[in-house]
Structure 1
Amino acid sequence: MPYKTQEMVVVTGTSSGIGRATAEQLAAEGFHVLAGVRRQEDADKIKQKNIEPVILDITAIDTLRALAERVEQDPLGRPLCAVVNNAGIAVNAPLEMVPLDELRRQIEVSVIGQVAVIQALTPALLKSSGRVVNIGSVGGKISMPGFGIYSAAKYAMEAINDSLRREMSSFGLKVIMITPGGVSTSLSEKGVTTANRLSKLMTPDQHRRHDRLFDAVKAQAESWATSGIPTKKVAEVVSRAIHASNPRTRYTAGRDSALLTRLVRILPDKLLDRMLRSQMKLQ
């Protein structure tokens, strides 16, 4: 049965982009949305009917405990029907020169933090036979030049998503992966900012090897920011996954995601390599 109004949903990373659009979509449908943000100024911006901002850093265990307590002690006794695991970052740069601390930060936020959210809220989700909705990426299916660190995190979440689904299916917990392609979000803009910062760390030899790739990475991210699908389209897919009585295990969002997730299964590696390098104008 579809969920009734005024059940709770947790959405992480709601200060902008997919997270914000999803929070607003679900709130408009009548859910009480606990919207995770890191800063009070973002909480003030997103607060509206059916949206309750919560200060949440998914890498900080104390804020996760506070979130779990808020869910468990809801004054109206509302069940938690879903968690939308959306918070993440993008570190985009050639693998040869990515500082290891940046790699650790990508994994800490976009993998370990996601698992921490799931662990904190699993007891409440089991009580309601709820569902975990993980926001993945086409980058979790195909790793483009310059996007290896970001893809590493998204590939890891594919494995975690599949394992969790198989572990918890007999206990009534449904686990779903949403795979957007290029989306017009501030994450792309932040990725460009990160790429610009990291490019300044390269040696002269690395500049000779990778300046062209850095330009391609920034051009690709800027293209997604301007021509990617609107965040509302992804939010609508999330909504379908939450409302469906028998949801699919995977949903794509955007034509590029639907196409690339198929191509990666059938094309030989070397042909796919050439296609991606050509797309990014690296050959």
Structure 2
Amino acid sequence: MSSTNQELVVVTGTSSGIGRATAERLAKEGFYVLAGVRRQEDADKINQDNIEAVIVDITNVNTLNDLAKRVKDDLYRRPLRAVVNNAGIAVNAPLEMVPLDELRRQIEVSVIGQVAVTQALTPALLASGGRVVNIGSLGGKISMPGFGIYSAAKFAMEAINDSFRREMASSGLKVIMITPGGVSTGMSEQGIQTSGRLSKLMTPEQHKRHDRLFSAVKAQAESWARDGILPEKVAAIISRAIHEQKPRTRYTVGPDAVLLTRLVRFLPDRILDRMLRWQMKL
């Protein structure tokens, strides 16, 4: 694509992991990618051919208005082909002790922020017949011990994704959910750091109940970081969802996601409970 007929794609959360891999893949395919990052130092790292870093805090409506204006005012690269809602955080801690401000932060970033991005860019997507690609998680299908706060946000996005897809079906806007399993990304490291910080807030009684769980959560996150699928594999599926004329409503990525999303539909709760606790060595 030349600069006079390139299609735009917006990808949030591109400082690392799935977002960065997606931005780089789509840029190589000829799209002009507006890559959302929160910090200038991350912007400096991702700026390259066909990738323009934009400072976007998805919890700040002013930066989202600026992003929508950037898309609208681009006279050379249009239309807006897709928005990839990838930005997010991971708050992993037992429900009993997680500070409510941390719960609010998880929902604010990983749910309200995703909706805010979508709302800001829906006019451009409707004009182009584009599509919204939401990056979900296996955590939106099954809630593991210690991951309930994160899963709450991902379950919420499943509901929002399905409702929005049905609302916009007659308007030509396609809404797609990508559901990866464990991915080797910086999200795992960020989750480990958050868990470590929150573990210090427990009372002595809570330490007795949950020290083992915090260790299991850390081990699980380390396992994903070490053995999870590469973010480039998820990026390839995102590219497919953007390119296909008739994309599926959802794509599941990774053997653990494929297996567990099937098991959760058939196994009784108590068997699933025992299986997950065994898997986490609890």
TM-score by structure 2 length?
A: 0.98
1:5–1:30 contact (8 Å) kept in structure 2:
no
For residues 1-283 of structure 1, the aligned pairs below 5 Å read 6-282=6-282
* Residue identity in the other structure for 1:15: S
Distance (whole Å) between structure 1 residues aligned to residue 149 and residue 214 of structure 2? 14
Deviation at 1:120, TM superposition (A): 0.1
Would you say how many aligned residue pairs link Structure 1 and Structure 2?
A: 279
Distance (whole Å) between structure 1 residues aligned to residue 24 and residue 107 of structure 2? 28
* Residue identity in the other structure for 1:261: T
Per-residue CA shift, 1:187-231, capped at 9, x if unaligned?
000100000000000000000000000000000000000100000
Deviation at 1:6, TM superposition (A): 1.4
Per-residue CA shift, 1:253-274, capped at 9, x if unaligned?
1111111111110111000000
* Residue identity in the other structure for 1:102: E
Per-residue CA shift, 1:126-145, capped at 9, x if unaligned?
00100000000000000000
Residues 5 and 226 of structure 1: is their aligned pair in 2 closer, same or farther, counting only changes over 3 Å? farther
1:5–1:29 contact (8 Å) kept in structure 2:
no
Distance (whole Å) between structure 1 residues aligned to residue 131 and residue 87 of structure 2? 17
1:91–1:191 contact (8 Å) kept in structure 2:
yes
* Residue identity in the other structure for 2:122: T
Distance (whole Å) between structure 2 residues aligned to residue 154 and residue 116 of structure 1? 16
Per-residue CA shift, 1:38-94, capped at 9, x if unaligned?
011100000011001000000000000000000000031511010000000000000
Distance (whole Å) between structure 1 residues aligned to residue 127 and residue 77 of structure 2? 12
* Residue identity in the other structure for 2:114: Q
Distance (whole Å) between structure 2 residues aligned to residue 14 and residue 95 of structure 1? 29
Distance (whole Å) between structure 1 residues aligned to residue 169 and residue 66 of structure 2? 27
Distance (whole Å) between structure 1 residues aligned to residue 188 and residue 126 of structure 2? 35
Distance (whole Å) between structure 2 residues aligned to residue 77 and residue 249 of structure 1? 27
Q: Secondary structure at the match of 1:95?
A: coil
Gaps of 5+ in 1: none
* Residue identity in the other structure for 2:215: D
2:146–2:217 contact (8 Å) kept in structure 1:
yes
Gaps of 5+ in 2: none
1:37–1:56 contact (8 Å) kept in structure 2:
yes
Distance (whole Å) between structure 2 residues aligned to residue 199 and residue 156 of structure 1? 25
Distance (whole Å) between structure 2 residues aligned to residue 277 and residue 150 of structure 1? 18
Following superposition, which runs of at least 4 residues in structure 1 exceed 3 angstroms of deviation? none
Distance (whole Å) between structure 2 residues aligned to residue 259 and residue 130 of structure 1? 31
How many percent identity over aligned positions?
Answer: 79
Residues 260 and 42 of structure 1: is their aligned pair in 2 closer, same or farther, counting only changes over 3 Å? same
* Residue identity in the other structure for 1:40: Q
